[in-house]
Structure 1
Amino acid sequence: MNLLGIKMGRYSLTIIFFALIGCASPAIYVDGTLNETNSGAIYIYKPKYEFIGFAADLRIHVDENYVGSLRGGRSISTRVPPGEHHIDVGVYTFGSPGGSTAELLVNIAAGETVYVRTSSEIPPGGLTEAAVGWDKKHLDVVEKKYWESRE
């Protein structure tokens, strides 16, 4: 079989199909009833200079709802009703779960914004193991200035 000028073996398309399916992320949850007056905001980021786990995709859930994924220097945000909320970060490599997870409980009031930074530790296997997502994740509430600089 010839696809875009590339000779393909008989199992190549099957492998490509399942590789692409494995890389898919779930749908992002958005509650359209929340606004600046009746909810708080959570901003979560991965520092731009964090090289541990650079090949890993961090999938973020707030109260068991998928709100997005992160790579170095990027951030996501979500609105939540006032009260206590559970933030969970799972490490995915090439679309498959792997590595550790991190959890954080935050209490938020209407009109309040909370900034959360992910961070990592070097695994026992060293940087080679860290590159593919073993890294131990941490979540910390930080000041707005850290979120703005992504440090």
Structure 2
Amino acid sequence: MSKKILVSACLLGQKVRYDNGDVPCLDPRFLKWYEEGRFVSICPEVVGGLPTPRPDAQRQGDRVVTGAGADVTEPFAKGANAALKLANEHDVALAILKQDSPSCGSLFIYDGTFTDTVVAGEGTTTELLRRNGFKVFGEDQLDEIERELALVDGSQ
């Protein structure tokens, strides 16, 4: 049996993003994994208690704040913990999370200045998952994910 994959709900076409949008991943490999029933989906921000739509938020060090300055660190932490719990419950092989997100970014996030500047960094959920031994990738890293899944599925 193939191992499960934790995935950002917005990548599956669910309208959970801050702007009430989605960003479905239409790569054939991603769709194949979906059809195989491998995905366990979550939007950490919604699970953490934030509404859709919601104000845009960005990481500023260990805090997450909205453009208006409201501190939303607590719901982001709650969502990250829920994602970790889900990953553990389903014994996921890895996670595919939305790049650039303050929750899910795995290589890049916005820099916290609300000037559309992207910097190297990771979101709160990615950080927690990685600290607990999970490999996290963005939707733009499907080649790496494919290689990792071949290793994981082959070792079962």
Q: What is the TM-score with the length of structure 2 in the denominator?
A: 0.25
Larger Rg: 1
Higher helix share: 2
* Larger relative contact order (CA 8 Å, sep ≥ 6): 1
Higher strand share: 1
